[in-house]
């Protein structure tokens, strides 16, 4: 059977390749900061507990940071760590001038309030972009200067991929499927700032397929495997699939085998879309690359240096 990725290779938005180029540009910028300003951007990642997926994410973030020349420090805390202990560590990192970015890997154990954790991180060091001050700055368009918003990494990566493929986004109809604080809402804000006409759709949207079918740009971020069918997509539309879902894919040799799929039914969607991100290899690699970009931006802002444009 022919692989649709091969048949429609020209439609693939290769997030992995774009992220590799972005990381190279970040590495160049870090080298310049060290040579010209004696500045070494520093990222501290905090992990509470021993969730296997979180351990993988933290390890990958550390490797990517070090490869780009960023000083990466892990703080691994026991599953029983109290909220007070975690907040004390965050306060210590807030006051450490060598730390320019702080990321607490979510989820955290039940005894810890994630909102209290996010609120405790200094907005200037909030490289995830989740602090209410950063969300407010993003919503009001405060995107330049030392008090600019830190933009959540996944929506930032999505916007980069769209602008790289489509160029000027102004005037396009965009539908963001999902309304989370981490992806959906900031994604809608970024597209609005790019002068798109934006609809935020969700599980209670009436005639959801028809709403999606109007979109020149469709961003799917609902966490439901293969929910968006090909006939939900406007012919020629750009589709950004943020979903990462594991589904059963048993074989005769491995009845427990799983595979990764997005929120979009890729095989049917690629027949209709003009451009589409695959899963894996689409949005995922951009998230870590944008985390590194945010760390460099934060380091520049904290030291009165104009950050590079990535």
Question: What CATH number has the domain bearing residue 191?
Answer: 3.40.50.720
Q: Is residue 13 part of a domain?
A: no
Rounded average pLDDT over 138-163:
96
Residues 168 and 139 in one domain: no
The verdict on 202 and 106 lying in the same domain is no
The percent of residues above 70 in pLDDT, for the chain, comes to 99
User: Given the structure tokens 């390890």, which residue do they identify?
Assistant: 59
pLDDT digits (tens, 9 = 90+) for 33-67: 999 999 999 999 999 998 888 888 899 999 999 99
Residues 280, 158, single domain; the answer is yes
Active-site residue (options: 11, 61, 185, 234): 61
Looking at the domain assignment, is residue 172 inside a domain?
yes
In a domain, 205, yes or no: yes
Domain encompassing residue 161: 154-284
For residue 86, give both structure tokens: 């975690």
**pLDDT number for residue 1:** 53
* Catalytic option among 11, 125, 126, 128: 128
Say which of 11, 105, 263, 302 is annotated catalytic.
105
- Judge whether 128 counts as a catalytic residue: yes
Task: Kindly tell me if the per-residue pLDDT of 87 is higher than 70.
Answer: yes
Whole-number Cα distances in Å, 266 to 111, 159, 179, 184: 39, 20, 22, 20
For residues 203-227, average pLDDT: 96
Q: Is residue 5 part of a domain?
A: no
Inter-CA distances, 103 with 72, 143, 145, 291, 299, Å: 11, 21, 22, 9, 14
In a domain, 298, yes or no: no
105 is catalytic: yes
pTM: 0.94
Specify the pLDDT at position 2: 66
Q: Is 111 a catalytic residue?
A: no
* Domains in the chain, number: 2
């Amino acid at each position: 059977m022919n692989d649709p990725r091969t048949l429609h290779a020209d439609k693939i938005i290769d997030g992995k390749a774009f992220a590799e180029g972005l990381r190279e540009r970040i590495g160049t910028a870090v080298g310049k900061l060290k040579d010209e300003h004696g500045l070494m951007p520093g990222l501290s990642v905090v992990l509470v507990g021993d969730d296997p997926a979180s351990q993988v994410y933290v390890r990958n973030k550390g490797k990517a940071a070090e490869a780009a020349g960023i000083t990466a420090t892990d703080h691994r805390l026991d599953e029983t760590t109290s909220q007070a202990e975690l907040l004390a560590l965050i306060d210590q990192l807030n006051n450490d001038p060598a730390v320019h970015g702080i990321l607490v890997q979510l989820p955290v154990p039940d005894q810890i309030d994630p909102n209290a954790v996010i609120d405790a991180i200094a907005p200037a060091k909030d490289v995830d972009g989740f602090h209410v001050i950063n969300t407010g700055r993003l919503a009001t368009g405060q995107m330049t200067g030392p008090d600019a918003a830190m933009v959540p990494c996944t929506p930032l990566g999505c916007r980069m991929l769209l602008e790289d493929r489509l160029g000027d986004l102004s005037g396009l109809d965009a539908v963001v499927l999902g309304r989370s604080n981490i992806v959906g809402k900031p994604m809608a804000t970024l597209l609005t700032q790019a002068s798109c006409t934006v609809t935020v759709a969700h599980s209670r949207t009436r005639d959801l397929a028809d709403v999606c079918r109007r979109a020149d740009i469709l961003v799917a971020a609902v966490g439901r495997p293969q929910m968006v069918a090909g006939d939900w997509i406007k012919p020629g539309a750009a589709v950004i699939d943020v979903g990462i879902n594991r589904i059963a894919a048993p074989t005769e040799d491995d009845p427990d085998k799983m595979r990764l799929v997005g929120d979009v039914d890729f095989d049917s969607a690629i027949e209709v879309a003009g451009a589409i991100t695959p899963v894996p290899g689409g949005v995922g690699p951009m998230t870590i690359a944008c985390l590194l970009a945010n760390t460099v931006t934060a380091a520049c802002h904290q030291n009165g240096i104009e950050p590079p444009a990535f």
